Copies of this chain bind each other. A is one copy, B any other.
Amino acid sequence: MALSTPLTIQLTPQAEIAADVPVDLERTRQPQYGRYLDELEPGQVFEHPRGFTFERATMLDFARNFMQANPLYLNLQYATAQGFRDLPASPQMVFNVTLSLGVQNDSEKAIANLGYYQVQFLRPVYAGDTLRAFTKVLERKDRGPDKPGIARIRTVGINQDDQVVLQYERKIMVAWRGDRLPTTPAPAVTTAFPGAENPAVELPLAAGPFAAGLTGPNTYAEDFSPGDIIVHANGRTITEEHMALTYGVGNSHPLHFDRIFSSGLAGKMSGEPIVYGGLVFAWLDGLASRDVSEHALWELGFTEGYHTQPAFAGDTVGALSRILAVEAAPGAADYAVVTMQLIGVKNISAAAALERYGADLFIKEDAKRDLGKEKIPAKIFEIERRLLIRRRPG
């Protein structure tokens, strides 16, 4: 193959030929993506298609659309004053993109995303970076031939230099194939499954306070104590925009943008396209951000994240946070590690939800039956987050 000579293709007039090629319906194929339960084997590895190149404009648009208040993701001058070499992508964008890259292999046939676990961000993503992702099937839990099973999978996102930027686990509910068409095989994976054994993140240390007014005066680490409940004032009405945003992050599950598909489903998923959960999480995070994460230098991780009810176009979502722990950050006296719950509600303001449901809002929905409590239909999301938050400057 000659590497140095470009290929010149003559563009000739294109004659119409369809009528000359007889239609033979026997020659039909219907490629299917994702995996049924029978097609997922523990140990199996997928290298996900396409990849995703980040651009600063897209990163800024994402941060703004999801209502981020941390200037680190909105303001290049602020980001570089903090010591970053460029504006970093918001963790929510990195998470949404990495998860979406895996959908075509992992979960395009999944019935539900059951949970996010041990989500860890290892490295900033900057403009010009290209992410790819790999998934390993960790476990497959059968619940009998008549019921969908549960797969536990691990996904790792890497950049163009093969450095890990994100890793996490999730559980998905997947049906048996039954008599449906088999799915398209993924290409054989020829490289080792990536991942960090002792994950760590290297962060810049800020040179000091910067244009004080760009952040609020009462969202430093000292302003948070375990037990604090913070009700975030504004909600966000989700519109049909969610369909384009789903594909905007690369998620190919038709449940989120194909009304023919979603209305053809049986049971409680039937009807309008369901908002991709990653987008819901991103909005809740953004709604909370000016009260809890304006001074976050890094999102250390999420775990035990559950979408307890679906959201649809037209729903208005609101958020509450509860501080769970404030701990020293080893080696970084100017920062603290703050752990908090993020709770999402819909079609009720966060303040009204707290008044109506009280302490029960902060109890995991899955734990409620054992506690003799009712699930809360207005509650749509719960997760625990851990952030590195600046202390109030000297």
Contacts and interface: CB of A to CB of B under 8 A. Distances in A.
Interface in A27-63: 27-33, 46-53, 55-58, 60-61
Nearest to A45: B213
Contacts of A208: 1
Given A6-B202, A212-B188, A235-B254, A226 B21 contact: yes
Most central of A18, A77, A199 by chain B CB within 10 Å: A18
B77 A130 contact: yes
A189 B213 contact: yes
Contacts of A247: 64-65, 67, 236
A214 to B, nearest CB: 6
A322 B236 CA distance: 38
Q: How large is the interface on A (under 10, 10 to 19, 20 to 34, 35 or more residues)?
A: 35 or more
Contacts of A17: 324-325, 339, 384
A14 B235 contact: no
Interface stretch (A88-96, A141-149, A170-178, A348-356): A348-356
Interface in A206-261: 206-208, 211-218, 225-237, 239-241, 243-244, 247-250, 252, 254, 257-261
Contacts of A332: 7, 9
A120 B13 CA distance: 9
A107 interface: no
A25 interface: yes
Most central of A19, A31, A160, A304 by chain B CB within 10 Å: A31
Contact of A50 (B69, B217, B232): B69
A154 B258 CA distance: 36
A118 B16 CA distance: 10
Most central of A1, A11, A347 by chain B CB within 10 Å: A11
A65 B234 contact: no
B60 A60 contact: no
A187 interface: yes
16 contacts: A1-B205, A6-B202, A7-B331, A10-B199, A14-B303, A23-B362, A47-B214, A50-B214, A53-B56, A132-B213, A188-B212, A234-B258, A239-B241, A239-B243, A241-B243, A258-B316
Given A10-B200, A27-B229, A65-B244, 15 more contacts: A7-B335, A9-B330, A17-B384, A23-B227, A31-B291, A46-B213, A49-B290, A53-B56, A53-B60, A78-B130, A132-B213, A186-B216, A188-B217, A234-B258, A237-B273
